Amino acid sequence: MKAIILAGGSGLRGLPFTRFIPKAMIPCNGKPMIYYIVRHITRFKLIDEIIIITDLKGLGGQIHNYFHNTKYEKNITFVQDSQKGTAGDLDCISTKQISEPFLLWFADNLCAIDIQKMKLRFADENSYVCIATRNKRQEKTGFAQVENNIITQFKEKPVIELQLEECLGIYIMNSGILDIIHKLVGQSINLSYDILQKLVRNKNISSFNIENQQWLDIESPATVTYNKELVSSITKLMES
């Protein structure tokens, strides 16, 4: 099974930092975010190759240089991105390169997810796509219970149940999705809006709930600073 890491994009949410470094290279506990993703993925024997799609002609060259002459280099293939959206970058991959289900991981996501269990969910549900999700979230502010305009109880940063499951940037996909993307070549393609929204009608997109597993979407170095303890906890699990 192959793993694709999407590490391209303009990084607008990370400005001004992403004028100088790609978002995937944001430091977390002294190492780039993408290091932990590669380290975690390689723990699973079912993954035989990692393909990193990034702007090799631009800032993405920093990612290539980082893994050069490391033990991970032999398992990594680098591909120039297309600058055509979250799904458009997959147009750079041919079905000859990938002819079986593959793992897709957006490089701004940190989570020590069990890829083996997620692959089993993908197979058990006869899925075309399986998406990592969560229905619980640790809030970052305090909440109050109010009755008749009177506060009766404070709850500091509670864990809340979400009405809708939140989709994380980690997927397992049938390789046939590449054919769907190839047919839309020439335009910017958003994975959620242009691809998954249409596929969901067939009811063969499953979810893999990470339950109490920690997850963080890192937009910028400020996100790391603000969530220092959470980042430390997740990266230790991913590196163990």
Measure CA 221 to chain center: 17
Note the pLDDT of residue 103.
98
Note the pLDDT of residue 41.
97
- 60-81 average pLDDT score: 94
Q: Is residue 154 part of a domain?
A: no
Note the pLDDT of residue 1.
95
Confidence category of residue 49, pLDDT binned at 50, 70, 90: very high
The conformation of residue 149, written as its DSSP 8-state character, comes to T
Note the pLDDT of residue 133.
97
Q: Is residue 6 part of a domain?
A: yes
CATH code for position 44: 3.90.550.10
Q: What is the tally of structural domains in the chain?
A: 1
With a pLDDT cut of 90, the percent of the chain lying above it is 59
Q: Is residue 159 part of a domain?
A: no
Q: Domain limits at 38?
A: 2-133+166-239
Reading the block at residue 196, the tokens are 């998954």
Q: Could you tell me which of 188, 192, 224 has the C-alpha nearest to residue 23?
A: 224
Could you give the 3-state DSSP secondary structure of residue 127? coil
Q: Is residue 171 part of a domain?
A: yes
- 60-85 average pLDDT score: 91
**Strand boundaries in the chain, DSSP class E:** 2-6, 27-28, 31-32, 49-54, 76-80, 102-106, 109-111, 129-138, 142-147, 150-156, 159-173, 205-209, 215-217
Q: Which run of H or E residues covers position 62?
A: helix 61-67
Q: Point out which residues pair with 146 in neighbouring strands.
A: 151
Q: For the segment 203-217, what is each residue's pLDDT rounded down to a tens digit?
A: 889 999 999 899 999
Q: For the segment 149-204, what is each residue's pLDDT rounded down to a tens digit?
A: 888 888 888 777 888 899 999 999 999 999 888 888 667 788 888 889 888 888 88
Q: Is residue 202 part of a domain?
A: yes
Confidence category of residue 17, pLDDT binned at 50, 70, 90: confident
Note the pLDDT of residue 12.
64
Q: Is residue 158 part of a domain?
A: no
Q: Is residue 140 part of a domain?
A: no
Q: Is residue 153 part of a domain?
A: no
